[in-house]
Amino acid sequence: MAPLSLPLSSLLKQKDCLQRAFIFCNVLKSLHHRPLTSRLWKRNFGAVAHGVGQLLSLQPRTENYAASVCSSSSDGQDMTEMMRSVYNETKRQTEDLIPAILRNAVNPDTIFANNEMSLRDTEVYGFDYDYTLAFYSRNLHTLIFNIARDILITNHRYPEGLRNYEYIPNFAVRGLHYDVQKGLLMKIDAFHYIQLGTVYRGLDPVPDEEVIAMYEGCHVPLEIMSDFYGKSSHGQTMKQFMDIFSLPEMTLLSCVNDFFMRHNIDYEPVHLYKDVKEAIRDVHVKGIMYRAVEADIGKYICYGEQSYAVLKKLSEHGKKMFLITNSPFDFVDRGMNYIVGKDWQDLFDVVIVQADKPGFFNDRRKPFRRVTDKGALLWDRIHKLEKGNIYKQGNLYEFLRLTGWRGSKVLYFGDHIYSDLADLTLKHGWRTGAIIPELRKEIKIMNTEQYVHMMAWLQALTGLIEQMQVHRDPASQALVKEWIREREAMRSQTKDIFNAQFGSLFRTYHNPTYFSRRLSRFADIYMPSISCLLNYDFKHTFFPRRTPLQHESPFWPEHSPSGISVSSQTTESD
C-alpha cells in the first residue's frame, strides 16, 4: 500500500488537509489526558502531523473541537455520544487524506530491498530459467493440470468423472500449506497461525469452528510444519507450495478432493496427495510438458523482450553471467532461442542444465558432465567451465572451485525461495534476488482508490478501537463491539480484493504470511521481473525501509523504494 505520509513537496501542497490531521491527532491526546500511545494512531496521523509541524511550523489549533469534546464530557454528556462524535471525525479526517495517499502510489516496476545491497559490488549475475528469464502464460498451468488429471485417470485408475474438472486460474495462490493427512489447503502466517476463512477442503471453505476444533486452536506446531524446503517429510504433515508451477498441483488436489466428497467416496487423503504429486512429477520428469511447450512455444512463453534487454545491458557493462536451471537443455535452448535468439549462449559465461536444485547447492558428490549440442553426454572429466559449452548436474562446491565466484560479488535471481535462494544466502554468502511475478498485480490493486480507501479507514478504525476499549461501561462496550464487527467485515473485503479464497500472497490480515517471512529472510531484493533492473544503473544501492519495531516510534521520515520520502508503517491487508 502507498504509505500514509507524503513526499515533502506534497506536504506543502496539502497543508490544509494535513493541518486537520495534525489537529485531530492532538484532539485524541486531549481526549484521554495522556500521551497518545497507540502505534496505529502514530502510523496514520502522527507521522504526517510531525512532518507538517516541522516543515510548516504549525501551531496545533485544538481549541475548538478538542475543547468542545472535553467540556461536553465533563458536563456529563453520554460517553457513547462522545465516542460516536470521535468516530465521525476520524472518518472525516481519513477521507480528507485519501487524495494525497493516492498521489503517492507505489511503482510496480520498483526493486524492493530486504537487505542493503549495492550493485556497485556485484560483478557476477546468475539466473534461474523458468519464471526468471522465461515467463509463461496461464495456458501452461492449464496444460499441466489437464495432463496430470489424465495421468491420474489412466495410470492410477481414478474415476473418469474427474475429466469434468477444468483448471481454475484464480483459485489458489503461491505459498499455501497443505495438510497431507487431513486433505486441507490453507494459508498460514509468519507465526504459524492459520488464517481463518482460508482453509479449504476440496473447493469449499471449512467453517472456522471446525478448523479450531481440528487444530485445537489456530496454531500449527513446529513439529508438523513442512521441512526447510517446504516438503512434507520425516513426520511433518504440512507441505508448502512455493513454486509457481505448484498452482496447478494445488488446484488438482482440491478438485480430486471435491470429487470424492461430492460422490461420497471413502478415500485416504495421504494416498490422494501422493498420487497427485506423482502425476505432477511425471508431467515434468517424463518430458510431457517440455515437448508440448516446444511444439507451440508462442502459446506458452510471453514477454521475453525485456529479459533479453537485461542480459544485453549486463553484457555491455562487462558483467559475468551464468545460468543454473533444473530444466533440460533442449527445452531451455528452444525457449532462449525464442526470447533472445540463436546466439543466446554467447551472453553467458557458464550454462548448467538439469542441475537438480536444491541438491545442487548441497551435494558435493555429483560431478559436472558436458552436453553436446545434440544432447549427447560426454564422459571426460571437467577441469574448467568454458563459455560456449553446456554442462549438466554438478554441484555448487565444484562450481565455486572452478570459477572462483564467491561471496557478495555474486547476485543470483530465481523464483523459488527455497530451491533457488535459501542455501545460497545461508551457506555461501551470495546475494539473492527473488522474482515474484504476482507482485505486479498486487501493487496495482493496492494503488486503486477502492483499496486505499478501505485500508486507510481500516487502520484508523483499528486505532479507534484500541483507544476506546478502555471505556468499560456497557453502552461504550456495545459501541466498541459494533466497531469490531465493522472491522472484521472490512478485513474480509481487503482479503477478497486480492483472491476470494486465500487473499494476498504477502499478508494474512495484519501479519506477514509464512511466504513473506521466508522471502524477507532469503532474498536481499525482490521484484516482479528482472526487467526492473533496466530502471537502475550498476552503481545503485538498494536500501530497505527502516520499519519501526513495535516498541519504537517512527521519528524520522523514511524513503520508499521509488525514492519518495515516507514514514514506515505496517498495513493490514488480506
Whether residues 147 and 288 share a domain: the answer is: yes
Q: 349: annotated binding-site residue?
A: no
Contact present, 426 and 518 (Cβ < 8 Å): no
Mean pLDDT in residue range 47-70 = 34
Q: Kindly indicate the confidence band of residue 33, based on its pLDDT and cuts at 50, 70 and 90.
A: very low
pLDDT of the residue at 574: 62
Whether residue 275 is found in the same domain as residue 244: yes
What are residue 205's DSSP bridge partners? 200
The answer to whether 320 and 125 are in contact (CB under 8 A) is: yes
**Strand, helix or coil for residue 566:** strand
| Structural domain count, the chain | 3
Note whether 125 and 200 are same-domain residues: no
Tell whether 173 and 268 lie within a shared domain.
Answer: yes
Active site residue 128: yes
**Whether pLDDT at 442 is above 80:** yes
| 199 CB neighbour count, 10 Å cutoff | 26
**Among 112, 111, 141, residue whose Cα is nearest residue 244:** 141
Q: What is the mean pLDDT of residues 149-177?
A: 96
For the record, the C-alpha cell of 187 comes out as 494459508
383 domain-assigned: yes
> Tens of pLDDT along 210-244?
999 999 999 998 888 866 665 655 556 899 999 99
Please check whether residues 123 and 240 belong to one and the same domain. Answer: no
Q: Which of 78, 109, 121, 130 is catalytic?
A: 130
- The residue range of the domain holding 228 is 138-295
Percent of the chain with pLDDT over 90: 72
Catalytic residue among 128, 189, 333, 574: 128
pLDDT at res. 228: 63
The residue out of 411, 434, 457 marking a domain boundary is 434
Residue at which a domain ends, from 295, 311, 346 = 295
% of the chain residues with pLDDT over 70: 81
- Long-range own/partner contacts, residues 191-197 (CB < 8 A, 24 or more apart): 191/219, 191/511, 192/219, 192/220, 192/221, 192/222, 192/225, 192/514, 193/218, 193/219, 193/220, 193/508, 193/511, 194/218, 194/219, 194/220, 195/503, 195/508, 195/509, 197/492, 197/495
CA atoms within 13 A on the CB side of 223: 1
Cα(236)–Cα(195) distance, rounded to whole angstroms? 20
Residue 490: in which H helix or E strand, if any?
helix 474-496
pTM of the entire predicted model: 0.83
| Same-domain check for residues 413 and 500 | no
Beta-bridged to residue 204, according to DSSP, are 201
Residue with cell 493496492: 446
Residue 493 lies in a domain: yes
pLDDT given at position 229 = 61
Question: Same domain for 288 and 369?
Answer: no
Q: What is the pLDDT of residue 562?
A: 46
Three-state SS for 463?
Answer: helix
Mean of all residue pLDDT scores within the chain:
84
Which amino acid appears at position 361 of this protein?
F
267 and 351 housed in the same domain: no
Residue 171, by phi and psi: left (phi above 0), alpha (psi -120 to 50) or beta? alpha
- Helix ranges (H only) for 216-352 are 246-262, 269-285, 288-295, 297-300, 305-316, 329-339
154/265 same-domain check:
yes
Give the pairing of strands 204-205 and 200-201: antiparallel
Instruction: Give one DSSP letter per residue of 94-132, joined into a string.
Output: HHHHHHHHHTTPPPTT--EESS-EEGGG--EEEE-SBTT
Strands 410-414, 431-435: pairing is parallel
Domain co-membership, 427 together with 317:
yes
333 is in an annotated binding site: no
> Is 415 known as a binding-site position?
yes
Residues pairing with 368 in the sheet: 393
279 and 187 both lie in a single domain: yes
Active-site residue, 282 included: no
Mean pLDDT of 100-107: 91
Find the helix or strand (DSSP H, E) in which 140 lies: helix 138-155
